[in-house]
Chain A
Amino acid sequence: MTTQGIFDEMWGTDGDLRGPYQEFNTWFEGEDASRLRTKQRDAEDLFRLTGITFNVYGKSEAEERLIPFDIVPRIISGAEWHRLSRGIEQRVRAINAFLHDIYHKQEIIKAGRIPAEMISQNEAFLPHMIGVSPPGGVYTHIVGIDLVRTGPGEFYVLEDNARTPSGVSYMLENRETMLQMFPELFSQNKVLPVQNYPVNLRRSLAASAPHSANGTPVVAVLTPGIYNSAYFEHAFLADQMGVELVEGHDLRVVDGRVAMRTTRGYTPIDVLYRRVDDEFLDPLNFNPDSALGVPGIMDVYRAGNITIANAPGTGIADDKAIYSYMPEIVEFYTGERPLLKNVQTWRCSEPDALAYVLDNLKDLVVKEVHGSGGYGMLIGPTASKKELAAFRKKLERHPSNYIAQPTLSLSTVPIFSRAGLTPRHVDLRPFVLVSPGRVDVTPGGLTRVALKKGSLVVNSSQGGGTKDTWVLEE
């Protein structure tokens, strides 16, 4: 049931059923495999019908794919979650304090905790944000913290997503699907609800509205459009929040406010939950070729007349080179020891680290500093000689583009396959909402699972699937 030496969240390392899975296991043993297989197919039909798909970049524009869904939930005990969520909250507070500091006094640099060039030379640093204070002081309204586990109490932060984390719609739809297919499981287990996320999101965004908002703040979701890989999620969230889903060409600056073109003329927006990258947000201030953004929105923003969630320039906080400084960052701003661990990270910009990485390439995971989605990374242990050689050249040419980390033995959770329960590696992305004076961590999050045996890559663009994630009541 488990893989040698690897921690399985259901069976531990020694094959003893762990506490959170007791009820589930009893239920599973009483189930007929063919019924479950039918249910698994029903789930896929349900996803296809509701249109929970993502578009794959590099494929034909019309291609939409389902992310495979596995019916075995990932179960976290209340006590485990309590510790985790405190760590997440601490980290998110530190990230917001860091962003404020970096775009204002830069105390952390003056204190010598981060080298000045880490900021000034970093392309994720946005000079337009210097001296700008976002409404309510919130930079990252929505954060996704990617966690991995290697043992009973061993959680590591793999990366912080402080720009526009995606995947929350899968968290919600996975739960909805499980509720429809196996209602009995939810009578047997006390699972903390996630369904109020959209309502919390709307409340949280509204609470971050600028002073210029009159009455109930007008919130809208900005999407790059229907060909974006996460369009389904953008539409889903707008729908669930009951707000408009807008594209750049629906918006324009009217009388110093950002307004959307309605059938009865232009209506001002107070809070824009944008799912468009900084670079494309404002063709007047950033990329002049962008058709996805709103000309002049940055000027409205600097005048304090709109909230952009997340704030422009938050990328500096989830940059993979900055990641290696997160323990210092947490300590510097909270005055506390970090509750969540960082994965050991070699910054290839440093000659000693680069030398170590080149010597140990086949044992390491090497990532692009600005990459995401599992693109452009090297997994040493599974790479071919040819891939290693090619990557070595890239590293030598642009060392500062990369960081390296040890390959962690990620925990596994069983998936339901032809052979019954079989262990597969997982990660976890909890979602966090930040509003003035408040941090809400949704219990659970998105569990991504590598469906290929032994694979450590969980990204949906690379063949990963998802699971419902349960946090049990304490």
Chain B
Amino acid sequence: MLGKTANGLFWMSRYLERAENTARLIETGQRIALTRLGSGDEDWASVLQSAGALAAFQDTGRTVTKDTAMDWMIRDLGNPSSIRSCIAAARQNARLVRTAITGEVWEAVNATHMESANLLARKVSERDLPEVLRAIRQNTALVRGMVHGTMMRNDIYDFLRIGTFLERADNTARILDVKYYVLLPSVSAVGSSIDNVQWESILRSVSASGGFRMEHGAGGGAQDIAQFMILDKRMPRSLAFCVGKLQSNLSYLTAAPDSPTEALKMVQHLQSEYLSHDIGAVFDFGLHEFIQEVLKHLAIIARQTEIDFRFYE
């Protein structure tokens, strides 16, 4: 496979995952705003931050309100991580790798692009918001389903998966990074209703609230949530799950088992040093410091993957 093709596959799936995660973050933000009294504009700053879109937004000189934040994350083409930008970029990459993906996958990406172009042509009204975000999530899920159902399990598939799980791990880590303080046991407001809303928002933004309730019923505290999102290997958006997938897909790509690629060695290191302990060790290390370390590692792994597989040169 061409290095350029690997690059296109990697970014196609990364952008689709990012579009989906952003849609979910906005849904969660909106839900919190609706279920709380008073104005929640400051909450939107934190949503922007979770989406990794706050700094660029502040550069535009606009003030954070619900409307401006949502439009920035959904439609603004000046924001390379807006849903609209991500879907356009995903399609651009899909065109680039048109020969590597099946017709079904291409058509699903193209249909996602056509429908989102239609839905996002004008400012999304509050009334239409749930429907629009649901459509985005369903469309990206359709692409994932087509990948799952029609693609050969070969190196093409591996690069798609690596893009997906790097982006997803990064997303989960960023949500934790923005909200880590509400998960700290020392915070005085523990057990108050505000915290419950915050906890709920963390779980919802990774579609994990159902799974968490299944495990813990009405109980479960901050530490359980952290454990669930960081270390639970059954939760498809946890760090341990995503890193596990990175490890297996990178090892399928390794030509000879005794000479692993640099990226694979880094993932193995991340796995054994950071994700093989219990949650107590994470808190001892410092939750914030831990997440910072994970984010740093993910960025380096992404860069090393580009080098190992000659994405650019």
Contact = CB atoms under 8 A, between A and B. Distances in A.
B2 A261 contact: yes
Nearest to A46: B107
Nearest to B103: A50
B166 to A, nearest CB: 16
A239 B156 CA distance: 14
Nearest to A249: B4
A49 B2 contact: no
Interface string A253-270: 000000011111100000
Given A48-B114, A51-B95, A261 B107 contact: no
A262 B3 contact: yes
Nearest to A220: B2
A101 interface: no
A261 B313 contact: yes
B121 to A, nearest CB: 14
B110 A51 contact: yes
A263 B261 CA distance: 12
Contacts of B96: 226
Contacts of A308: none
Contacts of B114: 48-49
A264 B95 contact: no
Interface in A228-265: 231, 235-236, 238-239, 243-247, 249-250, 260-265
A48 B95 CA distance: 13
Contact of A263 (B99, B110, B310): B310
Nearest to B308: A263
A373 B4 CA distance: 31
Contacts of B99: 235, 238-239, 243-245
Contacts of A245: 98-99
Main secondary structure of the interface of A (DSSP, over half): mixed
A263 B95 contact: no
Nearest to B311: A263
B306 to A, nearest CB: 11
B53 to A, nearest CB: 22
Interface residues of B, number: 24
A302 to B, nearest CB: 26
Nearest to B98: A235
Given A50-B103, A50-B107, A262 B1 contact: yes
A249 to B, nearest CB: 8
Contacts of B313: 261
Contact of A260 (B2, B92, B103, B110): B2
Interface residues on A, range: 20 to 34
Interface in B1-52: 1-6
B129 to A, nearest CB: 26
A429 B253 CA distance: 45
A1 to B, nearest CB: 38
Contact of B98 (A239, A263, A265): A239
B255 interface: yes
Nearest to B101: A239
Most-contacted residue by chain A among B3, B5, B255 (CB, 10 A): B3
Name which of A49, A50, A260 has the most chain B CB atoms within 10 A of its CB.
A49
A327 B147 CA distance: 54
A235 B95 contact: yes
Residue with the highest number of chain A CB atoms closer than 10 Å, among B2, B6, B309: B2
B4 A247 contact: yes
A236 to B, nearest CB: 8
B261 to A, nearest CB: 10
A221 to B, nearest CB: 8
A231 B97 CA distance: 12
Contacts of A262: 1-3, 310
B107 A49 contact: yes
B3 A250 contact: yes
B49 to A, nearest CB: 30
Contacts of B155: 263
A246 B88 CA distance: 22
B111 interface: yes
B110 to A, nearest CB: 5
B308 to A, nearest CB: 8
Contact of A49 (B3, B111, B309, B310): B111
A50 B3 CA distance: 25
Contacts of B92: 226
Given A51-B95, A226-B92, A245-B99, A250 B4 contact: yes
Contacts of B310: 261-263, 265
A250 B2 contact: yes
A249 B310 CA distance: 12
22 contacts: A49-B111, A49-B114, A50-B110, A51-B95, A51-B106, A51-B110, A231-B95, A236-B98, A238-B99, A239-B98, A239-B99, A244-B5, A246-B2, A250-B2, A260-B2, A261-B3, A261-B310, A262-B1, A262-B3, A263-B3, A263-B253, A263-B310
Interface of B: 1-6, 88, 92, 95-96, 98-99, 103, 106-107, 110-111, 114, 155, 253, 255, 309-310, 313
Given A51-B98, A226-B92, 11 more contacts: A49-B114, A239-B98, A246-B4, A247-B4, A249-B4, A261-B4, A263-B1, A263-B2, A263-B6, A263-B309, A264-B255
Interface of A: 48-51, 62, 226, 231, 235-236, 238-239, 243-247, 249-250, 260-265
